[in-house]
A and B are shown apart, each in its own frame.
Chain A
Amino acid sequence: MTVKLDDMIVELKAKTGSNPIIHEEVTREGMTTLWIERKDLKAVMSYLKREMERPFVMLFDLTCIDERVRKHKDDQPSSDFTVVYTLTSFDRNEDIRIKVPLKDNDLKIPSITSVWEAANWYEREVYDMFGVHFDGHPNLTRILMPRSWEGYPLRKEHYARATEKEPFVLTEQIRRMEEDDLKFKPEEYGFSRKSGDSEFMFLNLGPQHPGTHGLLRLIVQLHGEDVVDIVPDIGFHHRGAEKMGERQTWHTYIPYTDRIDYLGGVMNNLAYLLSLEQIAGIKVPERAQVIRIMMSELFRIASHLVWLGTFAQDLGQLSPVFYTFNDRERIFDIVSAITGARMHPAWFRMGGVAHDLPKGWNQMVQDFVNYFPKRLREFEKMILKNSIIKARTLGIGAFTTKEAIEWGVTGAGLRATGYNWDYRKKRPYSGIDQFEFDIPLGKNGDAYDRSLIRLEEMRQSLRIIQQCIDNMPAGSYKSEHPLAIPPRKEQTMQDIETLITHFVGVTWGPVIPAGEAMIPIEATKGSNAYYLISDGSTASYRTRIRTPSFPHMQMLPLISKGYTIPDLLAILGAMDFVLADIDR
């Protein structure tokens, strides 16, 4: 199911005068991957989004690859830095990847912010991390790193550890400069300081603020209590997770993924491993697939419970957070019985999971499945049916399906607008198409609908978990693929080759064949995907993490303008984001 290239080329030729496609690459997940020259970029993007039949309407991801030290370039066009655009077509139910080669001495590319507004932050990130200049970008400044940062972190020559450079000393001068950098100057964002005879107030909300759920800084332009405009300032939680992917082995990177969406636990492992297994060609046995689904859905409930409690707290209701955290603890009891850890089990492995399920797991899970629906009814009555909560969220922060797609919104946010899109249904992974469950949809796309959907999603997750208990297949919990497990112990004692393979596999980690893949999953907050590139080594060449919270946060100014501060907090509460997921 790939794009019909012939028709596309004919149409594009008519538009650009020549065939803009310079190369067609074959990737492991089979996504259509086309290389084009940067001079054709805008025309191609505009064609793909607006003119073609069943167009690619959503900018799913935009990133860059430093190709300078890559060994396996096959026959791809020569490039030092490749800018990668991933687009999604909902009508076709497929993605397309556009790659644009750039030379080291000429790192310039036209900005596509005029085609997709959502490209704004993504282009800033690429500029921040790789130093690629986007011509025509409205505000090309660093986004994740501090403004004073020297160098471009995701370039290969940039160090990955503080120990690789001189010790850092915070002098008074540096401190002053850093503080000065953080001062908000309205003119930089084209904000006026006053309108008529009244002055605007610029409120610095965060990075330490009880309502932002983490290190998020919002600079709010206020007229009285009315929000005129907002500038989200992110990056305070940036930990270089993508850079880490390039120095950790394929296996030892799994625990890092847990901490991207830190409420999603093993759900992150799943997104990472699906792409990785695709590159390595590992088939996961059925039992492992069902275990993975069950654990992921348990974590979906756990994540939604945190969201529900904090959402209520953002609206001033103090108690639900304790009830939901108590119930989340029950899930963690199950998780720790099965995996040995609570929030970040890092329990999935290439080709399966770390252990088989323990004895009595089904009773534990069944007890929870029996217990939880009653609690959900209570939560619904206590929180979502509460008239004050309704008054605070109905019609607040609403956006349409079109806006959602324009800004790259996935997950409950997209479904709240009434658009039926769930990666579990549309692009089933890990055998989830074998399960019966419904996709709750909203109507108005407001904060209230987003909340209702998450509550209903918990019910649907319970249904999936019940089916896991009833139909857990027998068999192995991990694949026999040589990249997934070390050679059998009995054989290593007989055969020097297997001994060497065992030794190398255990000490260095498996060598994954060269290739690249990205498989999006329906994570707790929207679509999460790992774009992995292997250069035939024990570590990834490039790990790109596409997280749902990043585009959601980018959309915040659009959906909160014209409301008041309490509404802004309600919108943030209903958005369901974690800063680790935004900043990585």
Chain B
Amino acid sequence: MHTAIVIVVVLLVVISIAAGLIWVERRLLALWQDRLGPNRVGPLGLMQVLADMIKIFFKEDWIPPFADKAVFIIAPAITMVTTLLSFAFIPWAPNFVVFDSNFGILFFLGFSSLGVYSVVLAGWSSNNKYSLLGGMRASAQMLTYEVFMGISLMGVVMMADSFSFSAIVKAQQHMWFFIPQFAGFVVFFIAGIAETHRLPFDIPEAEGELVAGYHTEYSGMKFGMFFVGEYMGITLISAIIATLFFGGWLGPSFLPPFVWFFLKTFFFIGVFILLRAGLPRPRYDQLMEFGWKILFPLSLVNLLVTAAVLLFIK
């Protein structure tokens, strides 16, 4: 019974946050760009989310005749499913988690790898040159960043001696892991942006170059799933950063654990949006170079140093 309630709560909250982020992002971007943003529909423009949802549900859901129909339909669902499934392992408060697995982190890494299929298949099945280029870029970019995304987390795993998210949060009672694992945090954060392909790593959908990259041909709710999927991805990465490096639900007791968890998560969501407002987009090969030549060695060194220090202490 408890699990069932948690599942329903997590699902509803995650989807509402993801949808609400559309408004949050537009308002925040507007704030940083000397504009107003959506402020007409409802108080503070909050109903904009509703209006957008109604619009996107009722849009013609067009499948191009030249597309590979089955794959074209499945692709956007993959990103939704894999991202949602990852939320099952993240504890929002003590004992408030869908599945407190001993292998939580591995599941998350596995699902995020599967998420690549969504983008690649969308790009391939659209049968459009821009989509194809976007899909190819996405596969290369995400496979690269996948590698050290995993490695960057191993320091945390070693320090907590567990792959379970709850255990890692509990291990941060005395010190949040972003202090000893600062390099790991930086690498994971950057890899996380690449994983969600947000600016400055929005190379698979680079607007000025590839129109909309892999989802150029998508419309209606299928586009909506990519759209909301991206926000869920941001929420997921932010939640994981909060959990693994910033003590998850831990915090002074004048606020309940839930609130601490969400405060930290929203802070990182804000950082994601700020990055989008601030940074230009590097070139594809520069991004790969940055990944392989800087982030990858950095994550390896971090892993080795952590291991050496832990061995020395024990």
Q: Which residues in A have some Cβ–Cβ distance to B below 8 Å?
A: 201, 203-204, 209-211, 225, 312-319, 322-323, 326, 386, 388-389, 391-392, 564-567, 569, 573
Q: For B209, give its contact among A317, A389, A569 (CB under 8 Å).
A: A569
Residues of A within 8 A of B210 (CB): 565
Interface of B is mostly: helix
B285 within 8 A of A: yes
Check: B280 CB closer than 8 A to any chain A CB. yes
B133, B209, B278, B284, most chain A CB atoms within 10 A: B209
CB-CB under 8 A from B133, the residues of chain A are: 203, 225, 565
Specify which of A323, A389, A392 is in contact with B34 (CB 8 Å cutoff).
Answer: A323
Please measure, in the bound complex, the distance between the C-alpha atom of A211 and the C-alpha atom of B207, giving whole angstroms.
Answer: 8
Is A323 within 8 A of B280, CB to CB? no
Is there contact, CB below 8 Å, between A566 and B277?
A: no
By a CB distance below 8 angstroms, the chain A residues around B284 are 225, 564, 566
Is B69 close to A, CB under 8 A? no
Residue contact A386 to B211, C-beta cutoff 8 Å: no
B168 within 8 A of A: no
The answer to whether B286 touches A391, judged by C-beta atoms less than 8 angstroms apart, is yes
**B1 part of interface (Cβ distance < 8 Å):** no
Give CA–CA (A209, B200) in the complex, Å: 20
A315–B281 CB distance below 8 A: yes
- Knowing A201-B129, A392-B283, A565-B133, the reply to whether A316 touches B33 (Cβ < 8 A) is no
Chain B residues with CB below 8 A from A573, complex form: 208
CA distance A391 to B286 in the complex (A): 8
Q: Within residues 129 to 151 of chain B, which ones have a CB less than 8 A from any CB in chain A?
A: 129-130, 133, 137
**A319 touching B277 in the complex, CB below 8 Å, given contacts A211-B208, A225-B133:** yes
From A225, A323, A388, A566, residue with most partner B Cβ within 10 Å? A566
- Which B residues are closer than 8 A to A by beta carbons? 29, 32-35, 129-130, 133, 137, 199-200, 202, 206-211, 276-286
Contacts of A386 in B (CB 8 A): 279-280
Which of B206, B207, B282 touches A391 (beta carbons < 8 Å)? B282
Contact B29 A318 (CB under 8 A): yes
Q: How far is the CA of A564 from the CA of B130 in the complex (A)?
A: 14
Known: A323-B33, A388-B281. 5 other contacts (CB 8 A): A388-B200, A391-B286, A392-B286, A564-B283, A567-B283
Nearest CB on B from A261, distance (A)? 22
B208: chain A residues at CB < 8 Å are: 210-211, 313-316, 569, 573
Q: In the complex, what distance in Å separates the CA atom of A210 from the CA atom of B285? A: 22
Q: How far is the CA of A391 from the CA of B208 in the complex (A)?
A: 17
Which residues from chain A contact B280 at a C-beta distance below 8 Å?
312, 315-317, 386, 388-389, 392
Q: Which residue of B lies closest to A326 (CB)?
A: B34
Q: Are A322 and B285 in contact (CB under 8 A)?
A: no
The verdict on A319 contacting B283 (CB below 8 Å), with A314-B208, A565-B133, A565-B209 known, is no
On whether the beta carbons of B129 and A319 are closer than 8 Å, the reply is no
Q: Are A319 and B33 in contact (CB under 8 A)?
A: yes
Given contacts A392-B280, A569-B208, contact A316 B202 (CB under 8 A): yes
Closest to B32 in A: A319
Q: Check if A319 sits within 8 Å of B202, measured CB to CB.
A: no
Question: Quick check: A388 and B129 within 8 Å, CB to CB?
Answer: no
Query: From residue B133, how far is it (CB to closest CB) to chain A in Å?
Result: 7
A203 CB contact (under 8 Å) in B129, B281, B283: B129
A379 to chain B, nearest CB (A): 13
Q: Which residues of B contact A315 (CB under 8 A)?
A: 208, 280-281
The minimal Cβ–Cβ distance linking A570 to chain B, given in whole angstroms, is 8
Cα of A392 to Cα of B281 in the assembled complex, Å: 9
Most chain B CB within 10 A, of A316, A564, A565, A566, is at A316
Give the shortest distance, in Å, between A317 (CB) and chain B (any CB): 4
Q: What CA separation (Å) do A225 and B276 show in the bound complex?
A: 25
Q: Which residues of A contact B211 (CB under 8 A)?
A: 209-210
Nearest B residue (CB) for A396: B283
Q: Report the minimal beta-carbon distance from B181 to chain A, rounded to whole angstroms.
A: 26
Closest Cβ of chain A: how far from B2's Cβ, in Å?
A: 44
Check A317 against B285 for contact (C-beta < 8 Å): no
Taking CB atoms, residues of chain A closer than 8 Å to B281 are: 315-317, 388, 392, 566
Some 14 contacts from A to B, beta carbons below 8 A apart, are: A204-B129, A211-B208, A314-B208, A316-B200, A316-B281, A318-B199, A326-B34, A386-B280, A388-B200, A388-B282, A391-B283, A392-B280, A392-B281, A567-B283
CB distance from B93 to the nearest CB of A (A): 36
> Bound complex: CA of A564 vs CA of B210, how far in Å?
12
Q: Are B32 and A316 in contact (CB under 8 A)?
A: no
Query: Quick one: which of B32, B200, B202, B206 has the most chain A CB within 10 A?
Result: B206
Question: Which of B208, B211, B285, B286 has the most C-beta atoms of chain A within 10 angstroms of its own C-beta?
Answer: B208
C-alpha gap A211/B34 in the complex (Å): 23
A265 to B154, CA, bound (A): 60
Complexed CA–CA distance, A317 and B209 (Å): 13
The 9 A-B pairs with the shortest beta carbon distances in the complex, nearest first, are A316-B281, A317-B280, A211-B208, A322-B33, A315-B280, A316-B280, A566-B283, A388-B280, A319-B33
Give B276 Cβ to nearest chain A Cβ, in Å.
7
Nearest Cβ on chain A to B216's Cβ, whole angstroms: 11
Residue of A with least CB distance to B30 = A322
A389 and B211 alpha carbons, distance in the complex (Å): 20
State in angstroms the CA–CA spacing of A584 and B277 once bound together: 36
Closest chain A residue to B133, Cβ basis = A225
Residue in contact with B279 in the complex, picked from A317, A326, A566, CB distance below 8 Å: A317
Closest to B282 in A: A388
Q: Give chain B residues whose Cβ lies under 8 Å from the Cβ of A565.
A: 133, 209-210
A201, A203, A317: most-surrounded residue (chain B CB, <10 A): A317
Q: How far is the CB of A455 from chain B (nearest CB, A)?
A: 16
A315 to B208, CA, bound (A): 8
Question: In whole angstroms, what is the CA distance A519 to B109 when docked?
Answer: 67
Select one of B209, B278, B282 contacting A319, CB under 8 A.
B278
Chain B residues with Cβ below 8 Å from A388 are: 200, 279-282, 286
Closest to A565 in B: B209
Q: Pick the residue among A201, A322, A389, A566 that contacts B206 (CB under 8 A).
A: A566
Q: How far is the CA of A569 from the CA of B282 in the complex (A)?
A: 12
CA distance A566 to B137 in the complex (A): 12
Contact A316–B285 (Cβ < 8 Å):
no
Bound CA–CA A317/B208 (angstroms): 10
Cβ-defined contact, B207 with A210, below 8 A: yes
